[in-house]
Amino acid sequence: MKVTEKTLKARCTELNLAALRDTTFGISFERFPKGYTVEIKYRDATLPQVLAVEVTASEAQAVIEGVAAGAAAVKAAGAVKPEYITMETFTRQAGARCVKCQSKDIVLAHLTAGAGTITQLCSCSRCGQTWDSVYALSHFDYGAVAV
Ligand SMILES: [Zn+2]
């Protein structure tokens, strides 16, 4: 069967409503003059992940089927839930929870200043996960300067 924009659209819709329904993402494509772009779109504000750019319709279909097969394998393995929270969730929670198990029982260790950022080593007392929380420099407050 010839792959067209229409069949791709139907397949994406079918996957998003069924196979990918209980995952954190959906799949989508766009047709541009130079070819198709295929993307994974997350259900929260995480930036889309581009999987293919300027490919033919049948190449786009192969990418889409690859995602479907991957999602099916993950589901079969019983790990539908992503291992880590998204960056959007992390910042919304102000870095106050474990990036893996969401426990509030976390240990904030030493700070390391870098170029416009401060990195803090964190660890979770519940699951043992460690991560770096990265703080971005935003402004100074001259009211706090002693004269
Ligand atoms: Zn944890």
**Model pTM?**
0.51
Distance in angstroms (rounded) separating the CA atoms of residues 51 and 88: 21
pLDDT value of position 79: 57
* CA quadruple 105, 85, 133, 95: dihedral, nearest 10: -60
| Sequential pLDDT tens for the chain (147 residues) | 789 999 999 999 999 998 888 888 899 999 999 999 999 998 888 888 899 999 999 999 999 999 988 888 877 776 556 688 989 999 999 999 999 999 999 999 989 998 899 999 999 999 999 999 999 999 888 876 666
CA distances from 23 to 1, 15, 52, 105 (A): 29, 11, 20, 27
Are 16 and 9 contacting, i.e. CB atoms less than 8 angstroms apart?
A: no
What is the whole-number distance in angstroms between the Cα of residue 24 and the centre of ligand 1? Answer: 20
Distance 98 CA to ligand 1 centre (A): 5
> What is the CA(13)–ligand 1 centre distance, in A?
35
Q: Do 45 and 61 touch, CB atoms closer than 8 A?
A: no
